[in-house]
């Protein structure tokens, strides 16, 4: 029996649990971080388990290759000769680990016996000095759909409406079909975030299938004009490139829900899969039967995930969602999104909005939504009830571990509590879940810097810059993207360009407090311009509307160089007094 340490990213927890059970069932003692008891010192427990392990099994996936924790644990295994790398989901091991032969789990997502389990058990015995001396018999690779079941990648449907403003609709259709197919237990689906990295790219479908280890690829287009919609969709075999199924729908817009249902069920039929009784009804659940309300919600959602961070954008989301709820008072998702935007207006822009009422309405209609708990957590944190806020976030994550909003709020809450190391995996997950999110990888760079992870900091900065430049290309006045890009440019050594972006941001949107905060972070930490940082930060102290944002500033390592400066201390004291924040002992 060997002592095995299992390293993985939080997003892969379900697969890690099944893998741990399979290895334990073979007689080995498996340690993974779900064994940490409440009150244990997280880093200490992990360090002890790493040192005690005879084999370190690392599960490389799209998210774990970006995790500093997993990279550090893998490095421990590599440097001590105890590393056993696994890959799945078409992922390659990151640079620095590719010289080691990985065991490929294909598209296995935690259902059934892990493929290549015998090979893994042999590797554990060999690494730990066990009795197995003969390698497992090599098997010829099988076709993807025979090896681990069908896996579909839903590529972003092309907007054929001749109007870029209709992009929200084609993206929304794509996301809904992805969500529908994810409800089918017999089917694996490539994540929305991964699929959207192929948007607006010339594609070879077979190459996409190979890169993602998908057995099939769904592609299509949407043309919306007036009250009519035309949707084409084709399911393609990832090996042969042949069409397995194709259809064109030319209908009234009021038929949009039926079209989505037909596409999802046609794919299930073409792949010869069986729907469980509850899965068929789950696919048909859109949250509303009102097409106009649905259309408004898609518009608001697009603004939420990709718009400029500003009071105007949040107000537009609130107006749009309010109209959707007038059309359908029981549209829980619209109430929840409105609550999120109202929360931003209240705590970032000082607008008197009652986000709690909207959140409670959403929860009363649909109790399993994570967003209402995120809103409630923000209110509790602002009132100084940190423990209660943490409990709300725990509930949100339990309801949906892959919620971008829940992971982002969990990261922010831990950051403000001074638990920067614990915030990292949540920022990592948020960054992976939403490819338009430039703020999470930007803060992640700060977290990595403060924990001495230079390579990871630079990788996060590159991700931030890529996303900021993409957002800026769509909207040159996006000051929030400019501010995120400033930090990334400075980290990557482009300091003159960073200074140019600072000037542009201050000219375009001088009243944006979030932008000012982020610019001050870079001026303080990377550009070493204390006076410049204090100058930019002064309006933040004068106008910030939330005690939680003051806590964020107090915990932020970026401000260490100026924390003892008289102007900083005076500005902070003035803001605390204005917001009624008591000075701690």
What string of pLDDT tens digits covers the 585 residues of the chain? 789 999 988 777 777 877 887 888 778 888 876 544 333 345 567 778 888 899 999 999 888 887 878 888 898 888 888 999 998 777 778 877 877 778 888 766 555 567 678 788 888 988 887 654 444 444 433 333 333 468 899 999 999 887 777 888 888 889 889 888 888 877 888 877 778 888 877 788 888 888 777 889 999 999 988 888 899 999 999 888 899 999 999 998 888 888 888 888 888 888 888 777 677 777 767 788 898 999 999 999 988 887 677 888 899 999 999 999 999 999 999 999 999 999 999 888 888 889 999 999 999 999 999 999 999 999 999 888 989 999 999 999 999 888 889 999 999 999 998 899 899 989 988 888 888 889 999 999 999 999 888 888 998 999 999 999 988 888 888 898 999 999 999 999 999 999 999 999 999 999 989 899 999 999 999 999 999 999 999 999 999 888 888 988 999 999 999 999 999 999 999 999 988 887 544
Sign of CA dihedral 379, 377, 317, 365: negative
Strand runs (DSSP E) across 27-129, as ranges?
Answer: 29-31, 55-60, 83-87, 103-104
Same domain, 209 and 126: no
**What single DSSP character describes residue 66?**
G
- Of the candidates 109, 139, 169, which is a domain's last residue? 139
Q: Which domain holds residue 485?
A: 435-585
175's tokens: 């996301």
The helix/strand/coil state of 98 is coil
Cα 86 from Cα 22, distance rounded (Å):
14
Decide if 128 contacts 187 (C-beta within 8 A).
no
Domain assignment of residue 75, yes or no: yes
Same domain, 507 and 540: yes
Same domain, 107 and 55: yes
Cβ contacts of residue 464 below 8 Å, gap of 6+?
438, 441, 442, 445, 484, 485, 487, 488
473-478: long-range contacts at Cβ-Cβ below 8 A with a sequence spacing of 24 or more?
Answer: 474/306, 475/308, 477/308, 477/508, 477/509, 478/308
Residue 235 bridge partners (DSSP) = 218, 245
Decide if 354 contacts 342 (C-beta within 8 A).
yes
| Residue 158 phi, psi dihedral angles, 5° rounding | -80, 135
Number of other residues whose CB lies within 10 A of the CB of residue 495: 16
Same domain, 439 and 578: yes
Decide if 405 contacts 374 (C-beta within 8 A).
yes
Same domain, 277 and 134: no
- Of the candidates 263, 286, 309, which is a domain's last residue? 286
Domain assignment of residue 467, yes or no: yes
Same domain, 72 and 175: no
Domain assignment of residue 526, yes or no: yes
Cβ contacts of residue 395 below 8 Å, gap of 6+?
370, 373
- For the chain, helix, strand, coil in percent to 5 are 60, 10, 30
Domain count across the chain:
3
The helix/strand/coil state of 54 is coil
The helix/strand/coil state of 499 is helix
- Full-model pTM: 0.69
- Of the candidates 240, 266, 286, which is a domain's last residue? 286
Decide if 371 contacts 337 (C-beta within 8 A).
yes
Same domain, 129 and 198: no
Decide if 542 contacts 511 (C-beta within 8 A).
no
Same domain, 211 and 75: no
Domain assignment of residue 85, yes or no: yes
Cα 244 from Cα 241, distance rounded (Å):
9
Element (H, E) at 440: helix 439-450
In the block, which residue shows the tokens 């790493």?
50
358's tokens: 């909207």
CATH of the domain at 206: 3.40.50.10070
Residue 189 bridge partners (DSSP) = 152
Domain assignment of residue 374, yes or no: no
Domain assignment of residue 563, yes or no: yes
Element (H, E) at 503: helix 495-508
Same domain, 130 and 260: no
Same domain, 154 and 122: no
Same domain, 7 and 54: yes
Domain assignment of residue 570, yes or no: yes
């Amino acid at each position: 029996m060997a002592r095995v340490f299992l390293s993985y990213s939080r997003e892969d927890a379900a697969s890690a649990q099944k893998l741990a059970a399979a290895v334990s069932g073979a007689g080995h003692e498996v340690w993974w971080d779900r064994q940490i008891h409440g009150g244990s010192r997280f880093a200490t427990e992990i360090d002890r388990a790493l040192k005690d392990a005879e084999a370190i099994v690392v599960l490389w996936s799209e998210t774990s290759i970006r995790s500093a924790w997993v990279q550090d644990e893998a490095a421990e295994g590599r440097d001590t000769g105890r590393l056993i790398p696994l890959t799945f989901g078409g992922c390659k091991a990151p640079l620095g680990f590719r010289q080691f032969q990985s065991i490929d789990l294909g598209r296995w997502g935690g259902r059934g016996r892990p493929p290549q389990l015998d090979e893994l058990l042999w590797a554990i015995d060999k690494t730990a000095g066990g009795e197995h001396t003969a390698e497992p018999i090599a098997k010829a690779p099988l076709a993807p759909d025979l090896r681990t079941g069908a896996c579909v990648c839903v590529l972003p449907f092309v907007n054929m409406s001749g109007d870029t403003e209709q992009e929200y609709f084609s993206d929304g259709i794509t996301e809904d079909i992805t969500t529908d197919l994810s409800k089918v237990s017999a089917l694996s689906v490539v994540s929305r975030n991964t699929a959207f990295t192929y948007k607006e790219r010339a594609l070879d479908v077979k190459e996409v299938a190979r890169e993602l280890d998908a057995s099939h690829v769904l592609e299509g287009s949407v043309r919306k004009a007036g009250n009519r919609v035309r949707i084409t969709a084709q399911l393609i075999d990832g090996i042969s490139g042949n069409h397995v199924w194709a259809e064109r729908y030319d209908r009234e817009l009021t038929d949009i829900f039926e079209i989505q249902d037909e596409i999802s069920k046609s794919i299930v039929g073409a792949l010869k899969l069986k729907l469980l009784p509850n899965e068929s009804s789950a696919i048909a659940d859109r949250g509303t039967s009102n097409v106009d309300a649905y259309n408004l919600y898609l518009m608001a959602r697009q603004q939420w995930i990709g718009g400029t961070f500003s009071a105007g954008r949040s107000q537009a989301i609130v107006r749009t969602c309010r109209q959707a709820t007038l059309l359908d008072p029981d549209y829980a998702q619209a109430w929840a999104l409105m609550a999120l935007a109202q929360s931003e207006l209240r705590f970032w822009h000082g607008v008197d909005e009652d986000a709690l009422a909207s959140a409670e309405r959403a929860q009363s209609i649909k109790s399993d939504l994570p967003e209402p708990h995120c809103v409630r957590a923000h209110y509790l944190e602002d009132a100084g009830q940190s423990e209660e806020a943490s409990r709300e976030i725990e509930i949100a994550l339990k309801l949906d571990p892959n919620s971008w909003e829940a992971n982002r709020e969990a990261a922010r809450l831990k950051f403000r509590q001074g638990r920067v190391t614990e915030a990292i995996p949540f920022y990592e997950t948020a960054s992976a879940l939403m490819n338009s999110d430039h703020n999470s990888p930007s803060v992640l760079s700060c977290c990595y810097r403060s924990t001495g992870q230079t390579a990871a900091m630079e990788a996060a900065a590159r991700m931030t810059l890529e996303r900021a430049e993409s957002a800026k290309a769509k909207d040159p006045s996006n000051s929030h993207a400019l501010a995120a890009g400033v930090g990334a440019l400075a980290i990557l050594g482009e300091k003159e360009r960073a200074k140019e972006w600072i000037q542009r941001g201050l000219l375009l949107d001088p009243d944006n407090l979030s932008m000012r905060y982020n610019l001050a972070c870079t001026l303080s930490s990377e550009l070493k311009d204390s006076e410049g940082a204090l100058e930019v930060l002064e309006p933040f102290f004068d106008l910030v509307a939330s005690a939680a944002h003051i806590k964020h500033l107090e915990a932020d390592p970026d401000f260490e160089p100026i924390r003892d400066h008289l102007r900083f201390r005076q500005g902070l004291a003035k803001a605390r007094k204005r917001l009624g924040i008591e000075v701690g002992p």
